[in-house]
Amino acid sequence: MRAMVVYDSAFGNTKLTAEAIGEALSGEYEVAVKHVSEARNSALTGLDMLIVGSPTQRFRPTVATMEFINGISDHGLAGIKVGAFDTRLTVEEIEANAVLAFFVRIFGYAAKPISKALVARGGQLAAPPEGFFVQGMEGPMVDGELERAGAWARSLNQAA
Ligand SMILES: Cc1cc2nc3c(=O)[nH]c(=O)nc-3n(C[C@H](O)[C@H](O)[C@H](O)COP(=O)(O)O)c2cc1C
């Protein structure tokens, strides 16, 4: 079985998370981990699982992440298990800034819109969208988050 993990990343944290997810899936799948700029829609042919992850930037996925997904045809993910994740600031950091906290409550994070867009193209959601925490804007990841990402990936695997 084949899985692809597609990520965008400004400072490397989402890349590390994508690699941890790829590693966790590698027991069951032949896994390719690709930066969004390298991911080709042709690679979707014969794929069993597609995971897409983005840093949360201004409450959303990056433009490149959504361009990749929007380039997939309406039923392009039919028969493919899908999952979405993001990286994001910690709750403590967000709550320390009242304005940011207000907008986060309204607009949320990147993983949910990614997940919705994958399902809209026919993907079969294998687990709820998930966020993994970074320290500050540039990271590194909060301790234990890469392990949590691996566990999330293994939960996708069980659903597959
Ligand atoms: C322009 C910009 C906007 C950001 N907006 C948010 C945000 O709305 N919510 C949030 O939780 N984190 C936000 N962050 C923090 C990013 O989520 C963090 O930089 C990212 O998870 C790091 O992952 P990366 O190293 O893969 O880029 C923002 C970061 C940048 C650079």
Q: What is the pLDDT of residues 89-114, one digit of tens each?
A: 999 999 999 999 999 999 999 999 99
Q: What is the Cα–Cα distance from 120 to 103, expressed in whole angstroms?
A: 25
pLDDT at residue 42 in the model: 83
Cβ contacts of residue 96 below 8 Å, gap of 6+?
Answer: none
Determine the distance separating the centroid of ligand 1 and the alpha carbon of 111, expressed in angstroms: 12
Q: Which residues line ligand 1 (CB under 6 A)?
A: 9-14, 55-59, 87-89, 109, 134, 137, 139
**Nearest CA, atom 15, ligand 1:** 137
Burial, 20: exposed, middle or buried (Cβ in 10 Å; 0-12, 13-18, 19+)?
buried
Atom of ligand 1 nearest to the CA of 86: 21
Flag whether pLDDT at 158 surpasses 80: no
pLDDT at residue 128 in the model: 95
